[in-house]
Amino acid sequence: MEKTINCPNCNKEIEKNNATGTYICKDCNKKYGKRANCDKCGNEVEMLQACGASQFFCNHCKELKSRKVLHYFIKEL
């Protein structure tokens, strides 16, 4: 079960669109995407996808990151 995420703009609960992986706030009509920050430096990491697998890379630390150590947040698209 995924935890509830609130809109940073209006603080109402937002819904995930499973087809696109985006989050939509129906109250203020904003669209968000899930992003992650590096556990060491705090910079946003880049998601690399190939052959159905996804990995995360920190351009500042120059290393691959496990999804378990990242700090997730939502960002307006």
Quote the pLDDT of residue 2.
Answer: 60
Report if residue 9 sits inside a domain: no
Beta bridge partners of 65: 56
Give domain status of residue 60, yes or no: yes
Beta-carbon contacts of 45 under 8 Å, excluding residues fewer than 6 positions away, are 36, 37, 38, 56, 57, 58, 59, 65, 70
Number of domains in the chain: 1
pLDDT in single tens digits along all 77 residues of the chain: 567 889 999 999 999 998 988 999 999 999 999 999 999 999 999 999 888 888 999 999 999 999 999 999 999 99
Within a domain: 65: yes
What CATH number is associated with residue 63? 2.10.290.10
Domain carrying residue 67: 15-76
> What pLDDT, on a 0 to 100 scale, did the predictor assign at position 77?
92
**The pLDDT value given to residue 4:** 84
pLDDT of 51: 87
Residue 4 lies in a domain: no
